[in-house]
Amino acid sequence: MKKILLVGNPNVGKSVIFSRLTGVDVISSNYPGTTIEFTMGNLKAGEERCQIIDVPGIYSLEATSKAEEVAVEMLEGGDVIIDILDSTNLERNLNLTLMLIKKKIPMMVILNFWDEIKHIGISIDGTRLEEILGVPVMPVCAVTGEGIKNAVSRIREAKVSAYDFTDKNRWKAIGEIIEKTQKVEHKHHTLLERLSDITVRPLTGIPAAATIMYLVFEAVRLLGEGIINRLMDPFFNNVYMPVVLKVAGMTGAGFIREFLVGKTPEVMKSFGILTTGLYIPFVVVLPYILSFYLVLSFLEDFGYLPRLAVLLDNIFHKLGLHGYSSIPVILGLGCKVPAILSVRILETQREKIIATVLLLMSAPCMPQTAMILSLGMRYGIKTAASIFAILIVVSVASCMVLNRIMKGETPELFVEIPPYRLPKLTVILKKLWLRIKGFLMEAVPIIILGVGIVNVFDLLGIMGYFTKLMQAPFARLFGLPGELASVALLGFLRTDMSIALLAPFSLTSAQFVKAGVFLALYLPCLATFFTMAREMGWMSAVKITVWMLAATSLVMVILNVVL
Amino acid sequence: MKEYMDLTRLDENEKGIVREITGGRGFVNKLEMLGIREGMEIIKVSGIMMRGPVVVRAGNTQAAIGYGMARRIFVEKEK
């Protein structure tokens, strides 16, 4: 099968075009570095079936980072290159095009963001460009799909370019091409451009960032709470529970009944797989996941995150990181697994380790946050908020220490800032669905399994055994009831579930804060651990885990004295 | 009169023409990829206080550049 590579600078819309060509949905965002691994899909071009590969973005063939190295290596195996250009940055993008021409692989050129150029006063003569380069040149607007069909119909015409130049004169050659194909007229700043300046200048940008962060937090909370209180909780309690209890009642008392619906009719304390096992993922967690990713997707596609990275750069330098590390940290508010994958955008192993520690310790993932909010709000906003405040202090302190003890320097920020773009609702909803699907397919079964395990352990008396074993150290060091030891034991399976296990205990507010901090910090969940091992090696994954465990113990002893 | 200065000393909204980039081939290459090279006109969009990054626009590309790197890019200020 013919191998077609989608190649281009970062953030030119390769992933959107990939989705258009293959029908395979992939996550795309408006900032460089969203695609860190290549994705494959199939396309039928005429009679021929082709394999399409979405290659991570590169600026040149002289790779400067790991992701770029991978991309450059992949070029060797391609039969056809579709070079995707950002029409609004034709000159800069042609640099890679000319480098690709030297590879002598059949090629075609796609000019993306064709709809945007007229707004900024640029006109490009695509036909002339095609004449000069000697390969098909097709304008498209990937987000709406305009021009994609025409582009596909010309893939067959891809050929090795006969355009000749010496590498030394590359920029001169580009200058000549631009001269012949592009006209720029002066246009006033658009509203989005003015908004961009406002949000990246310190005087206006810092208050704007604070406001945006506050609004994001409130929007996620209100939307999440709204869905729970108005929709999911009433449905679960008034419609679902009576039916389930009735059906389970028919099985008679005993083991099976307890396994299905638990011992008490109170849903969060029962630990039946049909009650708590479904209540946690669908009623408590899902609404928050939905609202968080809706808001995050908007920020991603609008293009705000790189600007936040610029404003946060100073603070991050104190931790041994540069501002772009804020992107993995923000992704980590949702789920740690994709966050750790995105750490690849950083260059050195030192940065990767510090960034991973920061994203793991600074805040819980969204399912865990949902559980902390849902249980913590019974004690009041102060209790819930103090857990998050403690986590931030601990993670910052932890990274400052790592920055001191780990050898090496902090590289400087160097990143392209994409223009603001108004996101398309359909694109946002599609991305939201991809992420929700991930949660439903991967997380929900494990939560249900975990609740089942708790149930069986409880019935077999294993929980009681561990409780006895851990009671003394837990009580003396942390001031927590010994039963929590068994909760901690299951925490590595899924951390949100471990917090749910706190529900049956009547903890005081201070105890809940301690237990919440402990369960959020002490270990990464299983999926996170394996992702770390894959990305950074087993040694680093183990080291990070031991570091977290040690930091948590220290914090817990301090908290026990203070609270 | 023409003034010659490094990027950190340019004010917000001021234009300059890149005249010299001091650094290795890798550094020059990196800047080149975002359209910052000798002879190009760039506009400083923002500079974050306390030795924070500098944001510049070159053509339609905006880039954030760390303070230390910005110190090594010299421009001729346009009046």
DSSP string, A475-508: IIII---TTHHHHHHHHTT-HHHHHHTTTTS---
Q: Return d(Cα A537, Cα A363) in angstroms, integer.
A: 23
Q: Which residue of B has its CA nearest to A321?
A: B66
Would you say residue A189 lies in a domain? no
Q: What is the mean pLDDT of chain A?
A: 90
- Note whether A278 and A413 are same-domain residues: yes
Judge if A50 and A158 occupy the same domain: yes
Give the span between the Cα atoms of A387 and A369, in whole angstroms: 10
Q: Which of A184, A211, A240 is the last residue of a domain?
A: A184
Q: How confident is the model at residue B26 (pLDDT cuts 50, 70, 90)?
A: confident
Same domain, residue pair A75 and A140: yes
Query: Could you tell me which residues of chain B have a Cβ less than 8 Å from any Cβ in chain A?
Result: 12, 26, 29-30, 32-35, 37, 45-53, 55, 59-69
With 80 as the cut, is the pLDDT of residue A92 above it? yes
User: Do residues A526 and A558 share a domain?
Assistant: yes
In a shared domain, residues A177 and A219: no
Distance of CA A278 to the CA centre of its chain: 25
Same domain for A178 and A149, yes or no, is: yes
With bands split at pLDDT 50, 70 and 90, how would you rate the model's confidence at A304? Answer: very high
Residues of A in contact with B48 (CB under 8 A): 202, 310-311, 313-314
Assigned domain for A388 exists: yes
Statement: residue A270 has pLDDT above 90: no
Report pLDDT digits (tens) over A373-424.
989 988 999 999 999 999 999 999 999 999 999 999 899 999 999 999 999 9
Using the Cβ of A89 and the Cβ atoms of chain B, whether some distance falls under 8 Å is answered with yes
Of A91, A92, A314, the CB nearest to B48: A314
Same domain for A209 and A85: no
Hey, of A172, A194, A415, which one would you mutate to test binding to chain B, going by the most B CBs within 10 A of its CB?
A415
Assess if residue A553 is contained within a domain: yes
Q: Does A465 touch chain B (CB under 8 A)?
A: no
Q: How many CB atoms lie within 10 A of CB A125?
A: 14
Is A209 within a domain? yes
Q: What is the pLDDT of residue A71?
A: 85
Cα distance between residue A453 and residue A367, in whole Å: 19
pLDDT confidence of B1, banded at 50, 70, 90?
A: low
| Nearest-neighbour CA in chain A from B41: distance (Å) | 14
- Identity of the amino acid at A226: G
- Asked which of A115-119, A372-376, A503-507, A519-523 is least confident by mean pLDDT, the reply is A503-507
A447/A533 same-domain check: yes
Alpha helix (H) residue ranges in A346-492: 349-361, 366-376, 381-405, 425-438, 444-460, 462-473, 484-491
Put simply, the answer to whether B52 touches A202 (Cβ < 8 Å) is yes
**How many folded domains does chain A comprise?**
2
Here the tokens at position A240 are 């679902």
Instruction: Give the per-residue pLDDT at A436.
Output: 94
Residues A159 and A298 in one domain: no
A494 found inside a domain: yes
Which of these three, A158, A184, A210, is where a domain ends? A184
Which pLDDT score is estimated for A467? 76
Looking at the domain assignment, is residue A191 inside a domain? no
Q: According to the model, what pLDDT value does residue A208 have? A: 97
Once rounded to an integer, what is the mean pLDDT over residues A509-514? 92
Cβ of A64 under 8 Å from any chain B Cβ?
Answer: yes
Q: Are A91 and B59 in contact (CB under 8 A)?
A: yes
- A194 lies in some domain: no
Within 8 A of B51 by CB-CB distance, chain A residues are: 314
Q: Are A373 and A221 in contact (CB under 8 A)?
A: yes
Hey, are the CB atoms on B53 and A310 less than 8 Å from each other? yes
Best of A60, A194, A201, A421 to mutate (most B CBs within 10 Å, chain B): A201
How many Cβ contacts (< 8 angstroms) between chains A and B?
94
Last residue in a domain, options A155, A184, A213: A184
Going by DSSP bridges, is the β-strand pair B41-47/B54-58 parallel, antiparallel, or unpaired? Answer: antiparallel
A195 within a domain of the structure (yes/no): no
Give the whole-angstrom CA distance, residue A18 versus residue A469. Answer: 55
Measure the CA–CA gap between A33 and A22, rounded to whole angstroms. Answer: 21
Residues 6+ apart with CB under 8 A from B5: B16, B74, B75, B77
The residue segments making up the domain with residue A413 are: 202-562
Strands A107-112 and A80-86: parallel
How far is residue A242's CA from residue A73's CA, in Å, rounded to a whole number?
A: 59
Residues A307-351 pLDDT 10s: 999 999 999 999 999 999 999 999 999 999 999 999 988 888 999
User: Taking the mean position of all CA atoms in its chain, how far away is CA A546?
Assistant: 24
Backbone angles phi, psi at A141, to 5 degrees: -125, 100
More confident residue, A347 or A208: A208
Nearest CA to A520 out of A286, A321, A359 is that of A359
pTM: 0.91
A92 with B59: Cβ contact below 8 A? yes
Instruction: Kindly determine whether residue B61 and residue A412, on different chains, have CB atoms separated by under 8 Å.
Output: no
Q: How far is CA A453 from CA A60, A210, A259, in A?
A: 52, 43, 10
Q: How confident is the model at residue A492 (pLDDT cuts 50, 70, 90)?
A: low
φ, ψ for residue A497 (rounded to 5)?
-65, -35
User: A125 pLDDT exceeds 80?
Assistant: yes
Q: What is chain B's mean pLDDT, rounded?
A: 92
Same domain, A209 and A119: no
- A422 and A294 share a domain? yes
State yes or no: ipTM above 0.90. yes
pLDDT at A33: 76
Same domain, A136 and A225: no
| Residue A108: pLDDT over 90 | yes
Gap between the Cα atoms of A175 and A165, Å rounded: 12
CATH code at A138?
3.40.50.300
CA distance B7 to chain A (A): 14
